[in-house]
Amino acid sequence: MIRSMPRSLGYRIGYAIFVILFYLFLFAPLIVISVLAFNDSQFVSLPWNGFTLDWFFADGPDRVGLFHDPELLHSLWISVETGLIVAALSLVVGTMGAFLFVQERFCCKEPLYFLAIAPLVIPGVILGISILLTATLVGDWIEKTTGIDLEFLRPSFWLVILGQFSFIATFVLLVVISRLKKFDHTLEEAAMDLGANRWTVIRRITIPFLMPALVGSFVVAFLMSFGNFNTTLFLVGSDATLPIELYTQIRDGSTPVLNAVSFLLIVFTSGMALLYLLLSKKE
Amino acid sequence: MSSRHFRLGFIIFLTPVLLWLLTLIVIPHIDLLIASFQAENDQGKLVFSQENYRNFFTDSVYWYTFVRTAFYSILVTVITFLLTFPLAFYITKIASKRLGGFLSMLLLLPFWVGELVSIYGWMILLRESGVINYILLGVGLLHKPVPLLYNDFSMVLGLVYMSMLFMVVPLISALESLDDSLIEAASDLGASKFTIFTRIVIPYAAPGITSGAIVVFMLVLGDYLSPNLLGGKNSLWFTEQIYNEFIASFNWNQGAAFGFLLLLLSSAIVWLGLRMSRQRLDKAVGA
């Protein structure tokens, strides 16, 4: 039944078939996307008509590849920018929160901690609409009283960043907290005894200790922002992120260019995930 | 001096955290609640009203969608569990350590790639001109293509696919700490496989099962892409109702009421799951 006990042949074969089918199910969509990104056909379907790189590099007039599609490239760039800003912002605030919850004692710490992890169990759609409501309310009020229309309170690039940050910070917080709890405080005390002040201790001892968690959570935060759809849907303005742009195009019908984009995403995110795994292995 | 210095540092750390939680979590949800109890009167002014909730309870379309969404979310959670539990058991108890590590690493990949890309892959596989139909026609199992896409089957398939990781990770970490000698001892004492599973393995993994079920249920309930892209024309999902009110009808107050109802349902299930398994929220969500 388990690896240390004798198992019947039927049990072993049955289990092996199940596991193989499971992984086939898991990777089937990614494999067909990747294969059809190189198919020399106008349609995203079999039969296989031969290998081509047109869906990446063609420059018209019949076929326009991904690298000559201004809308897709623009949304890709918006997503990268959004991801970097959200990851940086979440890293700073999440780390500050981790220090607060692990090292400090203050009133209302428990309810505040509960609030900080609540975004994990709030559906993304709800975060999106509630932030949209509040931003609009505040934006309208400011416009009425001062006559200034603040663009970041309307569906826009910056509102998307606020919306994604609102729950991605929680993930950074949790990752850094679990690392910080393993921290040996005698290291800090020793440094203080040797004459280091608090900022030197943080810079020279605490931050280096936290580094793997910080880099890891930055990568995760970037990927979460990069792939986010539910929250972004309600906050996006004229600058569509890649998932929003892809969604619009997929809804309207598929072209091999979409396979090319998806293929690049598969390669890119696997690379990032691998990087993250290597980092956490070291830890 | 040193204590004042310390307080200053504390305030510098506390301020951004408070700003985050107040302006992006607390106030927006209070706003959501307030907006859900407002409606335009005859003069077009916003006044207090229970109309939005009354609409929900009187119009059967809304009711139906809500119950349907809840029902399918439970179904998807159960299917996901049945599918991933044997896998988690294989990875932790049967496969060699190296194979198990490799298999659990492979599990993560579709998650990182993102829901949208996987759904697009399923669309290419399932539709009438899709890869599955092409293969089945090619080997002669079918004579004309069958529509596999745009129905409840394809919607559930997409939802299960995107949920599997969130179920399998807590299951693996629960089963990993189960001592093999417990199973060996039970077997030596004559317990059957069935008894071992129901009396040892399942009870031991119960906290992991609840964690996974809570997260999966919440994600499925709040999902938009799978029902929208893989479901049929008539297969409404409650998030789509919210989207319709916000983007299409521009009736934000009605949308706010729907949003609040969805939040209530999701919180109730999370609370129930935590109570049943006697876990704390932060432990259950994997911290």
The span from the CA of B98 to the CA of A222, in Å, is: 29
Q: Give the mutation candidate from B11, B92, B93, B94 for the A interface (greatest A CB count, under 10 A).
A: B94
Nearest to B112 among A33, A163, A272 (CB): A272
| Residue B255 falls inside a structural domain | yes
Size of interface A-B (CB pairs under 8 A): 253
Which residues, at least 6 apart from B132, have a Cβ–Cβ distance to it below 8 Å?
B125, B126, B148
Q: Give the mutation candidate from A5, A12, A126 for the B interface (greatest B CB count, under 10 A).
A: A126
| Residue B220 falls inside a structural domain | yes
What residue of B is the nearest CA neighbor of A260?
B117
pLDDT at A282: 57
With CB atoms and an 8 Å threshold, state whether A30 touches B266.
Answer: no
Nearest to B109 among A19, A166, A273 (CB): A273
| Residue B158 falls inside a structural domain | yes
| Residue A258 falls inside a structural domain | no
Reported as type and span, the H/E element at residue B46 is strand B46-48
Q: Which residues in chain A are closer than 8 Å to B96, comparing Cβ atoms? A: 3
State how many domains chain B has.
1
What's the full length of chain A, in residues? 283
What residue of A is the nearest CA neighbor of B260?
A126
Structure tokens at B70: 């809840």
Q: Residue A161's domain spans which residues?
A: 69-252
| Residue B166 falls inside a structural domain | yes
| Residue B52 falls inside a structural domain | no
Q: Which residues in chain A are closer than 8 Å to B25, comparing Cβ atoms? A: 115, 118-119, 166
* Distance in Å, alpha carbon of A149 to nearest chain B alpha carbon: 19
pLDDT at B5: 53
Partners of A39 in the β-ladder: A51
With CB atoms and an 8 Å threshold, state whether A134 touches B28.
Answer: yes
* Distance in Å, alpha carbon of B134 to nearest chain A alpha carbon: 7
- For B8-41, b/e burial (b = at least 16 CB within 10 A) is eeeeebbebbbebbebbbebbbebbeebbbbbee
* Distance in Å, alpha carbon of A276 to nearest chain B alpha carbon: 11
State how many domains chain A has.
1
| Residue B3 falls inside a structural domain | no
* Distance in Å, alpha carbon of B174 to nearest chain A alpha carbon: 16
| Residue B16 falls inside a structural domain | no
Nearest to B28 among A15, A133, A165 (CB): A133
Nearest to A266 among B31, B117, B180 (CB): B117
Q: Give the mutation candidate from B11, B79, B116 for the A interface (greatest A CB count, under 10 A).
A: B116
pLDDT values of chain A reduced to their tens digit, one per residue, 283 residues:
777 777 788 888 888 899 999 999 999 999 999 988 888 777 777 777 778 787 777 777 777 777 888 888 899 999 999 999 999 999 999 999 998 888 888 888 888 998 998 898 899 999 999 999 999 999 989 998 888 888 888 888 999 999 999 999 999 999 899 888 888 878 888 888 888 887 888 888 888 888 888 988 898 899 889 989 999 999 998 889 999 999 998 888 778 888 899 999 899 888 877 777 777 665 5
| Residue A266 falls inside a structural domain | no
Spans of chain B below 50 pLDDT: 1-2, 287
pLDDT digits (tens, 9 = 90+) for A116-173: 988 988 999 999 999 999 999 999 899 988 888 888 888 889 999 999 999 999 999 9
| Residue A21 falls inside a structural domain | no
Q: By three-state DSSP, how is residue B38 classified?
A: strand
Q: Which residues in chain B are closer than 8 Å to A219, comparing Cβ atoms? A: none
Task: Tell me whether A114 touches chain B (CB under 8 Å).
Answer: yes
Structure tokens at B102: 């490799």
The span from the CA of B52 to the CA of B36, in Å, is: 7
A-proximal residues of B, 8-47, CB under 8 Å: 9-10, 13-14, 16-18, 20-21, 23-29, 31-32, 35
| Residue A136 falls inside a structural domain | yes
Q: Which domain CATH number covers B212?
A: 1.10.3720.10
Q: By three-state DSSP, how is residue B251 classified?
A: coil
Task: Tell me whether A88 touches chain B (CB under 8 Å).
Answer: no
Q: Give the mutation candidate from B15, B18, B20 for the A interface (greatest A CB count, under 10 A).
A: B20
Task: Tell me whether A93 touches chain B (CB under 8 Å).
Answer: yes
Q: Which residues in chain B are closer than 8 Å to A26, comparing Cβ atoms? A: 106-107, 110, 161, 164
- φ, ψ for residue A279 (rounded to 5)? -65, -45
Task: Tell me whether B105 touches chain A (CB under 8 Å).
Answer: yes
A-proximal residues of B, 64-83, CB under 8 Å: 83
Task: Tell me whether A191 touches chain B (CB under 8 Å).
Answer: no
Q: Residue B122's domain spans which residues?
A: 59-284
- φ, ψ for residue A132 (rounded to 5)? -60, -45
pLDDT at B287: 44
Nearest to A115 among B26, B161, B228 (CB): B26
Task: Tell me whether A124 touches chain B (CB under 8 Å).
Answer: yes
With CB atoms and an 8 Å threshold, state whether A2 touches B286.
Answer: no
Q: By three-state DSSP, how is residue B154 classified?
A: helix
| Residue A1 falls inside a structural domain | no
The predicted complex's ipTM stands at: 0.87
Phi-psi region of A147 (alpha: psi -120 to 50; beta: other; left: phi over 0): left
| Residue B161 falls inside a structural domain | yes
Structure tokens at B142: 């079918």
The most distant pair of C-alpha atoms in chain A lies apart, rounded to whole Å, by 79
